[in-house]
Amino acid sequence: MSAGRRTKRALVLALPWVAVGLLAGAAEIRPTRDYLSPELRGAQDDPSRHPGWLWVEEGESQWRAGGRSCQSCHGDIGSMAGVAARYPAVAADGALLNLEGRIERCRTANQGEAAFGYESEALLSLTAAIALRSRGMPVAVATEGPAAPFLEEGRRFYETRQGQLNLACGQCHDDNAGRHLRGDVISNGLGTGYPAYRLDWNTLGSLHRRLRACSLGVRAEQLALGSPEYLALELFLASRARGQPIEAPGLRR
Ligand code: HEC
Ligand code: HEC
């Protein structure tokens, strides 16, 4: 038996639905909330049943905190409406920044304080509170001009088979969306619900934390939170999600 056939055989044994999915037609992108159980979807919409709101409230007080507060320059946090829908975006100096990265820039360059750090409570809280101001708004990232090379890099990452399972992202999130895998319903793998409160984590977490879980799931290398690879991938995910509503802060099992 050829190596190729052996690999295929192993894959079929490990994940029978993947083989079926390879034959499936072109992917249709649906809002992530459509894939949630009715219970989770209901709680995602209900602040009194959504633990992520503790982070939102913390982020709102963080917004007003300190001498040179975010508020002192930006005014009410309501001024952040629509901002999350435009990130990741390329900054004037050519760096690709996601919302977390943009906040960290203001933290260091404009507030003159030490960076919060990726996955810190303060950064997750501010990100959640700011993203909430775009809830329901359609994703509208820029993908042309300076963003184009990053988009291509992200697309390559998305389309490359990875890890011991030798699977590309789309083999699950395009070809097998709607199917069950280890108790989850596979969604289209959009970033629109992040940061999200995941019951399994028992806390709020960033999109990059979730991406690390998918990398681990296919036994591929887990990249650092905020790494250039995950940033480019985040931009590509946002381009796939264009027109889909922001759901952050999401609620996940
Ligand atoms: C000293 C004034 C100042 C402070 C303090 C400040 N910012 Fe900013 N912020 C700016 C300016 C100016 C810009 C626009 C910069 C640019 O576009 O390059 C900006 C941009 C942003 C953006 C991107 C907005 C967009 O439309 O793309 C976000 C998000 C943001 N700030 C969040 C924060 C947060 C959160 C804090 C507090 C931790 C903060 N800022 C503190 C001045 C400030
Ligand atoms: C073996 C199948 C599989 C592969 C391959 C895979 N994922 Fe996932 N992914 C899942 C499952 C299962 C979940 C949890 C259910 C869901 O939300 O889709 C998930 C969740 C996600 C989510 C969170 C969705 C949400 O709203 O909570 C994102 C984003 C994501 N994946 C992106 C990726 C990317 C990017 C890749 C490629 C690097 C990838 N995934 C590879 C199975 C996979």
Q: pLDDT digits over 193-247, tens only?
A: 999 999 999 999 999 999 999 999 999 999 999 999 999 999 999 999 999 999 9
What integer pLDDT is reported at residue 196 of this predicted model? 98
**Ligand 2 atom with least separation from CA of 190:** 29
What pLDDT score was predicted for residue 27?
Answer: 62
**Which ligand is closest to the CA of 171, given by its number?**
2
Q: Report the pLDDT averaged over residues 48-76.
A: 97
Contact 233, 157 (CB under 8 A): yes
Confidence of residue 9 (pLDDT cuts 50, 70, 90): very low
Calculate what percentage of the chain has a pLDDT beyond 70: 89
SS3 167: strand
Ligand 1: atom nearest CA of 68 is 5
In this structure, which topology does domain 47-132 adopt according to CATH?
Cytochrome Bc1 Complex; Chain D, domain 2 (1.10.760)
Please choose from 71, 105, 106, 111 the residue to mutate so as to test ligand 1's pocket, defined by most ligand atoms within 8 A of CB: 106
Residue 1, pLDDT > 60, answer no
Distance CA 141, CA 41 (A): 25
Contact 101, 118 (CB under 8 A): no
The rounded Å distance from CA 93 to ligand 1 centre is 15
**Is the CB of residue 32 below 6 angstroms from any atom belonging to ligand 2?**
yes
Mean pLDDT of the chain: 92
What pTM, to 2 d.p., does this model score? 0.93
CA-CA-CA-CA torsion for 59, 60, 63, 67, nearest 10 degrees? -110
Residue ranges in the chain assigned as alpha helix (H): 3-14, 16-22, 38-44, 53-64, 70-74, 99-105, 121-132, 148-159, 169-173, 207-217, 228-240
Across the range 158-173, mean pLDDT stands at 97
What residues does each domain of the chain span? 29-46+143-252, 47-132
One fold for 29-46+143-252 and 47-132: yes
Q: Once rounded to an integer, what is the mean pLDDT over residues 167-192?
A: 96
Give which of 249, 252, 236 is closest to 170, Cα–Cα: 236
pLDDT band at 15 (very low <50, low <70, confident <90, very high): low
136 has a pLDDT exceeding 60: yes
As a whole-number percent, the residues of the chain with pLDDT over 90 amount to: 87
Q: To which residue do tokens 């994940």 refer?
A: 15
- Higher-pLDDT residue of 22 and 251 is 251
DSSP codes, 49-71:
G-TTHHHHHHHHHHHH-STT-HH
**What pLDDT is attached to residue 170?**
97
The pLDDT of 99-122, averaged and rounded, is: 97
* Ramachandran quadrant class, 243 (left: phi over 0; alpha: psi -120 to 50; beta: rest): left
The residues that bridge with 205 in the sheet, in sequence order, are 196
Look up the CATH architecture of domain 29-46+143-252: Orthogonal Bundle (1.10)
84 pLDDT band (50/70/90 cuts)?
Answer: very high
Please say if the pLDDT value at position 119 is more than 80.
Answer: yes
Judge whether 119 and 205 are in contact, CB under 8 Å.
yes
pLDDT tops 50 at residue 183 = yes
